[in-house]
Amino acid sequence: MNDRSTASNSRDAVYAAALEAFAEKGFHGASMRDIARRAGVVLSNLYHYADSKSDLLVELLKKANYDHLSATEWALTGADASPRHRLEAAVKAYVGYIVDHPMEALIAHSELRYLGDDDRKRLVMARDRVEALFDGIIEDGVRAGTFTTSHSRGVTRAVLTMCAGIAQWYRQDGRLSREDIAGEYADYALALVGSIHD
């Protein structure tokens, strides 16, 4: 039992160390040696968890993307059928994840460009599913006539990048609470889709 829990703790420690190193120094600035040191494992041991630095970044972002998707999907299971309420719930959950995981959100946006095409492909599935989820809600609202945007194809991207920007400026000790920000960005998303009360 001890062996297992140690293995799982080391794995978590490695990914936590990689996250911290990538956030602080960027993909190219972070070294495997530095990540091993932060994780408290010897360098050769680090390769037990990932074949390369790219692998670490891919696995880290894959987990972050799926957690982000999952948090958003979970919020929707509690929302009623109105596109307005669904969009509100989805944006609040999406923003909540960013506020709770600013390092993951930062890296997902700034370090993705250093990955090769094959590695990127390993990451698109969760991202595509998040986009499809928002596209679906927005299309439903447009079809029902409660969302009036004429840019149903681009507005999801505008909503998601606007939310991603929060990771750039959010500070835990700032003026706005997690709930303030989630509510404010839900209002922005409703404005962007041209929501009228339903």
CB of 42 to its own copies, least distance (A): 24
Is residue 56 involved in binding its own copies (CB under 8 A)? Answer: no
Is residue 113 involved in binding its own copies (CB under 8 A)? Answer: yes
Q: Which is nearer to its own copies, 6 or 168 (CB)?
A: 168
Among positions 7, 12, 28, 45, the unique one binding its own copies when judged by CB under 8 A: 28
CA 48 to CA 68: how far, in whole Å? 26
In angstroms, the first-to-last Cα distance of the chain is 55
Among positions 154, 174, 179, 198, the unique one binding its own copies when judged by CB under 8 A: 154
* DSSP notation for 33-86: HHHHHHHTS-HHHHHHH-SSHHHHHHHHHHHHHHHHHHHHHHHHHTS-S-HHHH
User: Looking at this protein, which amino acid is placed at residue 160?
Assistant: L
CB of 88 to its own copies, least distance (A): 15
Is residue 106 involved in binding its own copies (CB under 8 A)? Answer: yes
Among positions 17, 18, 27, 69, the unique one binding its own copies when judged by CB under 8 A: 27
* DSSP notation for 77-114: HTS-S-HHHHHHHHHHHHHHHHHH-HHHHHHHHHTGGG
- Which positions lie near its own copies, rule CB under 8 A? 25-30, 106, 109-111, 113-114, 149-151, 154-155, 157-158, 160-162, 164-166, 168-169, 176, 184-185, 187-188, 191-194
